[in-house]
Amino acid sequence: MKAYREELENRLAHAWINPTSQNVSRYQEMQQDMMNRSEVFSQTWMKNVFSNAGLDHTLVAPVNQKAVHVYLDQQKEEKQQVIKSLSQSHGLFFFYASNCPYCHQFAPIVKFFADQYGWEVLAISLDGGPIELFPNAVPDNGLASQWNVTALPSLFAVNPETEDVIQVAQGMTSIDEMENRIMVLTRENK
């Protein structure tokens, strides 16, 4: 393969430096041979995929429209189960400031997420002010600095027993983004 590539490059260089019909034709012939070999390789590749289910990636990530819907439904169900099960061991810490408009817009999203998945929320006010949906908010006791909270609103999933901390949101995000982030950050490396 190395010799083949070198010959192809030499023919291209020769044709480019001295573009006579004969030099260009010599390069084109070898280029055509390479494309023919690539086509045979590609066809053999696909025959192997079609003959061996272990090589067919569409069985893992389908492309058929109906199969895609089934796949996405399964992914959604798995995501919901993982997030619900995490709610048994983790709680949400919601950092906000009462003068932050994004925090006030994010609060209903946090509340909906928590209600949907059964999470408890501890709202933590960085300026000591209230936020409507979380009337039992507590003032920050230095935790924001300890966890390097630099953007508001911020949301963390915390396991109080293991002290495992997962940053779920930094800035205002959607529920889908929070779900995806939790899935990525809690997935075991396989």
Which tens digits make up the pLDDT trace of 80-127? 898 999 899 999 999 999 999 999 999 999 999 999 999 999 999 999
- Domain containing 169 — which CATH number? 3.40.30.10
Claim to verify: residue 130 and residue 153 sit in the same structural domain: yes
Claim to verify: residue 42 and residue 73 sit in the same structural domain: no
Give residue 58's pLDDT: 81
Give residue 96's pLDDT: 96
> Across 47-51, 154-158, 159-163, which has the greatest mean pLDDT?
154-158
Claim to verify: residue 151 and residue 127 sit in the same structural domain: yes
Name the domain boundary from 59, 86, 104.
59
- Cα 62–chain centre separation: 18
Claim to verify: residue 164 and residue 74 sit in the same structural domain: yes
Claim to verify: residue 38 and residue 117 sit in the same structural domain: no
Claim to verify: residue 78 and residue 146 sit in the same structural domain: yes
Name the domain boundary from 14, 31, 59.
59
Claim to verify: residue 117 and residue 48 sit in the same structural domain: no
Res 14 pLDDT > 80? yes
Chain segment 32-49, per-residue pLDDT in tens:
999 999 999 999 999 998
Claim to verify: residue 112 and residue 33 sit in the same structural domain: no
Res 153 pLDDT > 60? yes
- Mean pLDDT calculated for residue range 25-36: 96
Token duo for residue 10: 């030499």
Give residue 8's pLDDT: 95
Confidence of residue 62 (pLDDT cuts 50, 70, 90): confident
Whether pTM > 0.75 for this model: the answer is no
Claim to verify: residue 170 and residue 86 sit in the same structural domain: yes
Claim to verify: residue 150 and residue 73 sit in the same structural domain: yes
Percent of the chain residues past pLDDT 90, beyond the cut? 72
Give residue 65's pLDDT: 86
Claim to verify: residue 130 and residue 81 sit in the same structural domain: yes
Number of domains in the chain: 2
Give DSSP secondary structure letters for the chain.
-HHHHHHHHHHHHHHHHS--HHHHHHHHHHHHHHHHHHHHHHHHHHHHHHH-GGG-GGGTS--SHHHHHHHHHHHHHHHHHHHHHHTTT-EEEEEE-TT-HHHHHHHHHHHHHHHHHT--EEEEESSS---TT-TT-EE--SHHHHTT--SSSEEEEEETTTTEEEEEEESS--HHHHHHHHHHHHPPP-
Give residue 188's pLDDT: 60
Domain that holds residue 152: 65-186
Name the domain boundary from 39, 59, 79.
59
Half-sphere exposure of 99 (CA within 13 A, CB side): 3
Give residue 190's pLDDT: 39
Claim to verify: residue 91 and residue 49 sit in the same structural domain: no
